[in-house]
Structure 1
Amino acid sequence: MSRLYDTVEPSVIDEDMLQRAVEEQGPKEEAGKLAKAEGIDFNDVTNLRLDFKNILKIDNLWEFTNLVKLQLDNNIIEKIEGMELLVNLVWLDLSFNNIEVIEGLGTLTKLQDLTVYNNRISRIENMDNLKDLQVLSIGNNQLTELENLVYLRKFKKLKTLNATGNPFCENVETYKQYVVAYLSHLEFLDYRLIDEQSKVAAKEIYAMPIDEIIHNEEAEERKQKENEIKQKELQIHTKAYVEYLDGSSLFDSMYAEDSDGQRLNEMPGVDELLAGFKEKFLGVCQKIFEYGLSENEKRQAEVNQFWECVEEAKTENKEAGMKIIGTFFEERKRVLAELGTITDNQVIDDKIEAYQSQINELWDKLMSLELQLVDQLEDVIKDFERNMQEMVSTFLENVKAHLTQCRDLENMHHERMMEISIVTLEKVIKNELDDEITEELRMLFVDKDTIIGAVSSSHDLHLLKIDNKEDDIETRIKNWLSAMMEKIRNEEEIKRNRVRVVEINHQIDHFKEEIDNLDFLQGP
């Protein structure tokens, strides 16, 4: 598969090559001269041909973010790379190169037509994100396993496949039947239309293995949907700051790094105690979880109501402004009509002066209306922030109260564990538990100080985990509220106000320029 020009010095995709390619493919004659003189922004280029350039490495294409079609065929490229930012690419030709692995296409989610014909590819892979792929040309490569084609079943939009010239095509009949059977959504194979008779015949031959594949695919699809549902639920739970509190996550975390606690749980008589402790602990966590979800719904309802109030205020203000401008346009139309019929310069000057006063009055009215809206929105924002702060404070108070219950349960459990530990120590000293405890557990019962230290250390670690959960919930919800209010004030309202002031001034300037130029024939 080597090229005649492989012995030539490899070319580099640099600024000069790209500039020449863009100019060669850009507008011609006068338009081309103008474009060349002014310079062409690579970001504006949608089609680019870099074929027959003896290119070894794909590089320096990061500016072509709006590229739709890219030709890199007939080069000496060895690796697919450097195209991460070409996210708008629809058509890509990498044929007649030295590529061995399909890779580097993860961000090209809009790709519909991919050609890697005549390379050194031995496996179809790494294309999972190409959901819109419709045409794939991968002929004249080194594909040996027909089973690898099953990978293409995931591309439901794939209608055209060219795979001829690969080793697995040696038995043409088997190859075609296999492809038609397993890729039933194909319409064209190796540039030929697949007729219905061929589909039926192929399906009969491979009925059993295909049924198994379909069964597995359906099972995988169900699993994927279940995972998606779980992820969506987790997102809701996380947004409510109570993720995993509907299970044993917090309880398990208390013992995850507590090696002493794990060993102490092996003491005789602890099983029943631990089971009761866990049941009550998880009951409190479940209450926090349910309360968190309920409060999250209330917060979201408050947020939605706030934005409805904002939109309502803006709509009413806009309608009032349009009414004022509509009245002005009527007056403008009358004034301009009169000016067109008056010949006395003094009268014209008086009319223009009066009209300019009306323009200034219009500016005053529109700016007053905008200031009125600013004040109105400021009041709405203040009320919203006050309500949200109260909701967050109430939420945190209740969560802390529940977590205090968890601490109380831990304290009571700690006291019982301490009592059992002392009793167990006495029995160990008397050699009454030789067959009932492990050697690792026995190491904690050296003396009273050691066992008390182990129980206390376990207790402190458990309390720390509860404290960390409380701190995490408090920090996250406060950060959420702070970020939201910051965005509302600085990004939403200030930006809106600036845009509106610019619009008003631009409109007033237009009216003033119009009368200054005596452009009486222009309509509103």
Structure 2
Amino acid sequence: MYGEGIKARLTEENLRSVVAEQRVKGPTGHSVSQEERLEFSEVQKLDLGFKGISIIENLWEFISLTTLHLNNNCIQKLEGLSRLTNLMSLNLSFNNIMEIEGLESLKKLEELNLCNNNISVLENFDSLENLVSFNIADNNLKDLNQVMYLRKFKNLFTLNFSGNPLSEEDNYKWFVIAFFPNLKYLDYRYVKSDIKKQASDKFHIELQELNRVDLEMEKKAEASKTHQAELQLQADAFVESLNGPFLFEHMIKDDPLANQLQSVPELAAEQTLYPLIPQQKTTELCVQLFETGLVELKRRRAEVNSFFSSHSKTKAEIMQEESHLLEEFDKYFKMFKKESASTSQTLKASPNDELKKLHNHLLALEFKLIGQIEIMIQKLDAEITDLIGAFNKSAQEIFAQCRDLEDKYHQKVQGIVAATIENVEKDEDVDDLPDDVKLVFLDKETVMGALTTSHENHLLAIRDRESQLNNRTNAWKSRLVKKLKEEEVHRNRVALTDFTTYVDHYEEELHRLFNR
């Protein structure tokens, strides 16, 4: 219990008192001596029931908790639990909670008890995919259809809705059992197989419709997942939106003279603002680059996978050598201690030299590993640079062909527009042109300027896509190499720290032996 007069706050002092009390009784999940101080981060079970708590707070250090009881308190708001990611059982019964919230990070939770609260809506705990037991008896759930929210939890086999208004409906029991075929216990009672069969027959039509809807949703979800995976693959290959006419469509979007030029018979006869052949050619070039990008992605991934395979093998070999050295020294030191214990004379011999040799040998192995990994990273960098360079060169050649198509098209359109302007001025061969279009072509300077702007916009769209591809490929390579180097530096620091800790430990042991 908390100290006298302290009923509503979870202070560190109060928590320390509870942990100490439960350590003696056993519910913390650890067996420790009375004198030993148990850290909050080590506690696995914590009972805070009947403490008069109104706010859940100061539990962030209890990261190892698997079971937490907060029942029979005055809690109104679900909060302060996000760090308890290892929690498997949570009891919040007999409180004043009105809304389910703050449970998103408790993905390992299997048992959730919210009975005897003031909850009226089932919501906000979609992420609890491992939930097997849910008790929300004696709350304020009124709509029987709310139960359907729980169908997403495929592992649920225990449910309790007793004491809620919805449990008073005529078809309550049959409804729940029918739509939860894996249910074993409902409202503290075992669900027999014959009851399941009757419930299924009673809601046969509804179950068929629900299964049909579920199947459609699963298909849509799978299709969406496949689509997202495809988009991610294209992004990883740096060729998204190049497997069709997307670049072409982007080029001609918002052309200032689009409508007027389409009214010119010579251009309208080509079916689109762009001549059909350049449109097809541009798309074909993009698809060619798209397919090249996917092939190059496989090559890059093969190189990266090869690096990690070699990296793991090399590291394992060195670590095996280090482990062997440590094991041999452990044996040597145990023998030394045994011999030292058998004599009452002051020890003159010392294994300090052996310890220094061990330390130097470990450092030598670590430096050897650093050198090997550094060479491997340099090799990977060179290989990836070559692959990226070849891919970017191919892309440059393809985008250059797209620009060439655009230049040729622009020259053709310029000729047609110039001829149309001349015909409008002479009022010859322009009977098919609408009057408003004729007015546009009377302003030669404006028309030719707009045409030039259109051409420049087309070229800019091509250049932007080329720059995007080039910049992203190089940025990816730089990030990859930088990350590998940073991870290696971190690994090296950890290894050196471990060696130092190991040596320091044995130096302390030696100090005690020689000063006993």
Q: How far is 1:340 from its partner? A: 11
Paired residue for 1:66? 64
Specify which of 240, 244, 249 is matched with residue 246 of structure 2.
249
Encode CA deviations 1:68-113: one digit per residue, 9 max, x unaligned. Answer: 3333334444443343333222222333344333333222211211
Q: More deviation in 376-385 or 502-511? A: 502-511
Q: 1:17 to 1:178 in 2, by over 3 A?
A: same
Q: Which runs of 5 or more residues in structure 2 are unaligned?
A: 1-5
CA distance in 2, matches of 1:331, 1:47: 41
The reply to whether residue 471 of structure 1 matches residue 467 of structure 2 is: yes
TM-score (norm. length: structure 1): 0.79
How far is 1:158 from its partner?
0.5
Percent identical: 34
| Aligned pair partner of 1:453 in 449, 454, 458 | 449
Q: Residues of 1 paired with 2:172 and 2:106: CA distance?
A: 29
1:52 is displaced (CA, Å) by 4.5
Q: 99, 103, 108: which is aligned to 2:97? A: 99
Give 1:271's aligned residue.
271
Q: How many angstroms apart in 1 are the aligned matches of 2:430 and 2:11?
A: 80
TM-score (norm 2): 0.80
18 and 319 in structure 1: CA distance in 2 versus 1, 3 angstrom threshold? closer
CA contact (8 A) 2:424 2:442 kept: no
Query: What SS is found at the alignment partner of 2:244?
Result: coil
Task: Provide the residue aligned with 2:308 in structure 1.
Answer: 307
Is 1:116 the counterpart of 2:114 in the alignment? yes
* 2:149 pairs with one of 148, 151, 160: 151
Offset at 1:389? 1.5
Distance 1:12 1:326 in 2: 51
For residue 359 of structure 1, report the CA deviation from its aligned partner.
6.3
1:218 to 2:219 alignment: no
The equivalent residue for 2:294 is: 293
What secondary structure does 1:309 align onto? helix
Question: Cα offset for 1:127?
Answer: 2.5
**3-state SS of paired residue (2:271):** helix
Q: Deviations over 1:414-447 (max 9, x none)?
A: 33444444455567775987987697x7886562
Which residue number corresponds to residue 390 of structure 1?
Answer: 386
**1:136-163, Cα deviation, whole Å (9 max, x unpaired):** 1122233222222222221110101111
1:429-444 matches, cutoff 5 A: 430=427
1:141-187, Cα deviation, whole Å (9 max, x unpaired): 33222222222221110101111222222234x11111111111211
Q: Can you list the C-alpha shifts for 1:380-400, whole angstroms capped at 9, x where unaligned?
A: 332222222122211211112
* Compared CA separation, residues 362 and 468, structure 1 to 2 (3 A): same
CA distance 1:208–1:279, shift in 2 (3 Å): same
Deviation at 1:260, TM superposition (A): 2.4
- The structural deviation recorded for 1:335 is 9.8
- 2:479 is matched with 483
Task: Provide the rounded CA distance (Å) in 2 between the counterparts of 1:116 and 1:294.
Answer: 54
Matched residue of 1:467: which SS? helix
Matched, 1:199 2:196: yes
Equivalent residue, structure 1, for 2:161: 163
Distance in 1 (alpha carbons) for counterparts of 2:112 and 2:462: 54
Match of 2:410 among 411, 414, 427: 414
Q: Counterpart of 1:142 in structure 2: which amino acid?
A: N
Task: Indicate the SS of the match to 2:83.
Answer: coil
Matched-pair contact (CA < 8 Å) for 1:78–1:100: yes
2:459 is paired with a residue of what secondary structure?
helix
Q: Does the residue aligned with 1:204 lie in a helix, a strand or coil?
A: helix
Deviation of 1:290 after TM superposition, in Å, equals: 0.8
Any conservation in 2 of the 1:444–1:454 contact (CA below 8 Å)?
Answer: no
The alpha-carbon distance between structure 1 residues 150 and 301, as it changes in their structure 2 partners (threshold 3 A), is: same
Question: CA offset at residue 477 of structure 1?
Answer: 1.9
Q: Kindly state the Cα deviation for residue 198 of structure 1 after the two structures are TM-superposed.
A: 0.7
Which AA in structure 2 matches 1:232? A
Query: After superposition, what is the alpha-carbon deviation per residue over 1:23-47, rounded to whole angstroms, capped at 9, x for unaligned?
Result: 5544469979746xx5x64433433
SS at the partner of 1:271? Answer: coil
Structure 1 window deviating more from structure 2 (510-519 vs 398-407): it is 510-519
Decide whether the 8 Å contact of 1:266 with 1:437 is kept in 2.
no
Spell out, residue by residue over 1:471-500, the C-alpha distance to the aligned partner (whole angstroms, 9 max, x if none): 2222222222222222222322x3444455
Aligned equivalents of 1:335 and 1:98: distance in 2? Answer: 65
Pairwise CA RMSD: 4.2
Distance 1:335 1:288 in 2: 70
| Separation in 2, partners of 1:10, 1:336 | 54
Please name the residue that 2:3 is paired with: none
Aligned pairs (5 A) from 1:342-353? none
In structure 1, what is the Cα distance between the partners aligned to 2:64 and 2:327? 42
